[in-house]
């Protein structure tokens, strides 16, 4: 595998000095992406085995923009079939299909993405906690993370002030930060979620992953001398 050059906005370096290459592993995801949910156990194993010198950054890819319209029946059927396929191919991944009868599905994941942005704003430790909580609510508890009320409840459940959370998730700053992630997703050349991308100085590599075997990604990183 080879690293492909990319354009990156970097500050000027002083003449005659050398900066050690900075390697970063990006996980591009969406908290309401079912395949991202399926990758979660493997991703935890990957992270645990990474060297301390490798920076890890999660980026919100944003599957579906804002809408108040009900999800079309054809899309609902497609996603339910995706859930069944994941359950059949990724052992231990379970979905609660009561969601489709108990909730009013919308094809809108941006609210959940903003919830992750907002949680991170209040503390880096809340970023992963919010992702995990959204996934549990959506896939196992038949709750709808496309609804602001649900997201505020989840914020309280991970230890955030729900009222303050509600104010910030609607802020211009939150939207700007989400748009930054969406732009970075495009710059990294991502075409599907979840994706792993390694950048090293001014180059990038898409890292393969397996939903059942963390070693696939780890071996690719070793091959890249990380």
pLDDT tens digits, residue range 122-149?
A: 999 999 999 999 999 999 999 999 999 9
Alpha helices in 16-93 (DSSP H): 34-49, 73-89
Q: What is the pLDDT of residue 13?
A: 37
In a domain, 143, yes or no: yes
Beta strands 203-207 and 4-5 are antiparallel
In a domain? residue 38: yes
Percentage above 90 pLDDT, the chain:
88
Residue 184 lies in a domain: yes
> What's the CATH code of the domain at 165?
3.40.30.10
The β-bridge partners of 195 are: 28
Specify if 93 maps to a domain.
yes
pLDDT digit string, tens, across residues 40-52? 999 999 999 999 9
Task: Look at residue 4 and tell me whether its pLDDT is greater than 90.
Answer: no
Q: Look at the chain and report how many structural domains it folds into.
A: 1
Using 50, 70 and 90 to split pLDDT, how confident is the model at 20? low
Domain range for 118 is 23-223
Tokens of 15: 């003449």
Question: Is pLDDT at 166 greater than 80 in this prediction?
Answer: yes
Confidence check: pLDDT of 204 > 70: yes
DSSP code at position 155: H
């Amino acid at each position: 595998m080879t690293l492909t050059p990319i354009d990156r906005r970097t500050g000027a370096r002083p003449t005659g000095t050398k900066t050690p290459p900075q390697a970063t592993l990006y996980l591009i995801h969406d908290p309401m992406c079912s395949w991202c949910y399926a990758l979660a156990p493997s991703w935890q194993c990957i992270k645990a085995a990474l060297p301390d010198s490798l920076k890890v950054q999660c980026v919100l890819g944003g599957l579906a923009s804002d809408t108040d319209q009900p999800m079309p029946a054809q899309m609902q059927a497609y996603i339910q079939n995706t859930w069944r396929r994941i359950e059949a191919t990724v052992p231990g991944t379970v979905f609660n299909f009561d969601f489709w009868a108990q909730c009013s599905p919308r094809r809108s994941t941006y609210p959940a993405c903003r919830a992750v942005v907002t949680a991170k704003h209040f503390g880096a430790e809340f970023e992963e906690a919010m992702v995990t909580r959204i996934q549990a609510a959506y896939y196992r508890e038949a709750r709808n993370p496309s609804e602001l009320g649900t997201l505020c409840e989840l914020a309280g459940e991970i230890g955030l002030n729900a009222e303050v959370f509600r104010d910030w998730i609607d802020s211009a700053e939150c939207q700007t930060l989400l748009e930054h992630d969406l732009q970075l997703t495009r710059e990294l050349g991502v075409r599907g979620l979840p994706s792993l991308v390694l950048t090293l100085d001014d180059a990038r590599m898409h890292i393969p992953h397996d939903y059942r075997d963390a070693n696939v990604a780890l071996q690719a990183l070793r091959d890249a001398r990380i």
